[in-house]
Structure 1
């Protein structure tokens, strides 16, 4: 993972990400221009959640 992925140069890149709750699981998603969202991170203590929800998965809210 590059430094630009962790610390983007443009502050607006941070604003595109938000934390949402989907099916009782806390997830960080990236807002796309077409209204869809891409899962970038999931916070869960259940290992099965990581098999069901993968980074890069498109999510409709």
Structure 2
């Protein structure tokens, strides 16, 4: 089976459920984001989920950005 996807292998087949349980889809400032929750309560942006190309040019949606 061939799976064509922009996601990484570990996003599709996580090593354990605990590793994937701290990742969420959230609505932040009107944009859908895929984030990972940190131990200090902040979220780290993993992926911007948008169909608008202009959203990807905005620096505040760069992967790795910390969100409160």
TM-score normalised by L of structure 2: 0.74
Structure 1 ranges of 4+ moved more than 6 A: none
Flag structure 2 segments of 5+ consecutive residues without an equivalent: 1-6
Q: Alpha-carbon deviations, 1:27-47, whole Å to 9, x = none? A: 010000000000001111111
SS in 2 for 1:13: helix
Equivalence for 1:36: 42
Name the CA distance, whole Å, in 2 between partners of 1:2 and 1:19.
16
Q: CA RMSD in A?
A: 1.8
Q: Give the count of matched residue pairs.
A: 60
Equivalence for 2:63: 55
Q: Alpha-carbon deviations, 1:11-38, whole Å to 9, x = none? A: 1111110010011110010000000000
TM-score normalised by L of structure 1: 0.82
Name which one, 1 or 2, has greater alpha-carbon Rg.
2
Name the CA distance, whole Å, in 2 between partners of 1:19 and 1:5.
13
